């Protein structure tokens, strides 16, 4: 732990987490996702039983209630929604990267390697549990920011790096690779030191993996270990959740016939 302020500053207020750095370019997989340039992004905790569908209006209401200006020019970027209490959010930083996460798995999304052989917590075969995509008290949201100036493809690839680290961490900690409503936001500083790549072998990619792992683990610990709640042992035990038991058809790729050029 360190007292130095991270490059991507976070404020937690009234169920809203604001992550900010001036003139950041963001890429989001959330409901209002895509690319944009803004000073801030948000992670908004929704109450249990929440059923609003006018998401833009709802987010604006929550930001205003929390004392953030949803109409300020260049101030509002992507917003994520979560069933996890924002008090359980945790941050981590390593080198040029800062990450923030909220993590809960009441709505796990299992991917069994032997489809059709789902198991309950006692190890016996059980029926696949499929429900509507309700956030419940779950969702794993990750916000990653780097001080590097990433190439366009490198920023997009950072989504994959963060998602991989999230899945690996969740598998280790909970047995599930994710939930039905996970989302990732990544950001970079266009005026920073240039970086053409962001894979796991680069400084940005390696730091992102470490930050996402440690932020997700810390948020899980805050959400479960430090409370009376416990993560589900299986999809069948979860309040909400899905198991992908369908089998895809696997096929060999055809090889195009060799074309022989006539001799001259």
pLDDT per residue of the chain (264 residues) written in tens, 0 to 9: 556 789 999 999 999 999 999 999 999 999 989 999 999 999 999 988 888 899 999 999 999 999 998 888 667 799 999 999 999 999 999 999 999 999 999 999 999 998 865 544 333 333 444 344 444 557 999 999 999 999 999 999 999 999 999 999 999 999 999 999 999 999 999 999 999 999 999 999 999 999 999 999 999 999 998 777 889 999 999 988 899 999 999 988 877 775 656 665
For position 122, what pLDDT does the model report? 37
Scan for tokens 């992507």, then name that residue: 78
Structure tokens at 142: 């990750």
For the chain, the maximum distance between any two Cα atoms, rounded to a whole number of angstroms, is 82
Sequential DSSP letters for 84-128 = S-GGG-EEEEETTEEEEEEEE-SSBEE--SSTT--B-TTS-B-PP
- Is 92 in contact with 19 (CB distance < 8 Å)? no
- Is 168 in contact with 161 (CB distance < 8 Å)? no
- Is 150 in contact with 207 (CB distance < 8 Å)? no
- In our burial notation (b when 16+ CB lie closer than 10 A, e otherwise), range 220-232 reads bebbbeeeeeebb
Range list of β-strands (E), the chain: 9-13, 16-28, 34-45, 79-82, 90-94, 97-104, 109-110, 139-146, 149-150, 183-188, 194-195, 242-243
For position 239, what pLDDT does the model report? 81
- Is 8 in contact with 20 (CB distance < 8 Å)? yes
- Is 111 in contact with 177 (CB distance < 8 Å)? yes
According to DSSP, residue 221 is labeled I
Query: What is the chain's Cα-based Rg?
Result: 21
Scan for tokens 């996890």, then name that residue: 84
In tens, the pLDDT along 130-184 reads 344 444 557 999 999 999 999 999 999 999 999 999 999 999 999 999 999 999 9
For position 128, what pLDDT does the model report? 40
CA distance 175 to 233: 8
């Amino acid at each position: 732990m360190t007292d130095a302020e991270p490059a991507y500053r976070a404020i937690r207020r009234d169920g809203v987490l604001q992550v900010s750095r001036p003139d950041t370019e963001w890429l989001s997989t959330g409901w209002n996702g895509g690319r944009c340039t803004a000073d801030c992004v948000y992670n908004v905790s929704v109450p249990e039983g929440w059923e609003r569908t006018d998401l833009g209006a709802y987010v604006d209401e929550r930001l205003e209630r929390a004392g953030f200006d949803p109409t300020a020019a260049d101030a509002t970027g992507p917003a994520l929604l979560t069933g996890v209490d924002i008090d359980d959010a945790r941050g981590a930083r390593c080198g040029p990267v800062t990450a923030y996460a909220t993590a809960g798995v009441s709505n796990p999304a299992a991917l069994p390697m032997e489809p059709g052989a789902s198991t309950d917590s006692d190890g016996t075969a059980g029926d696949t549990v499929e429900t509507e995509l309700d956030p419940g008290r779950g969702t794993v949201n990750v916000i990653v920011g780097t001080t590097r100036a990433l190439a366009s493809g490198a920023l997009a690839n950072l989504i994959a790096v963060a998602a991989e680290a999230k899945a690996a961490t969740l598998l280790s900690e909970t047995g599930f690779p994710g939930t039905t409503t996970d989302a990732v936001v990544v950001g970079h500083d266009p005026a920073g030191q240039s970086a053409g790549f962001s894979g796991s072998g680069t400084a940005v990619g390696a730091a992102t993996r470490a930050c996402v792992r440690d932020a997700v683990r810390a948020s899980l610990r805050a959400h479960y270990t430090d409370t009376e709640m416990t993560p589900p042992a299986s999809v069948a035990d979860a309040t909400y959740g899905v198991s992908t038991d369908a089998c895809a058809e696997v096929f060999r790729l055809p090889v195009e016939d060799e074309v022989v050029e006539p001799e001259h």
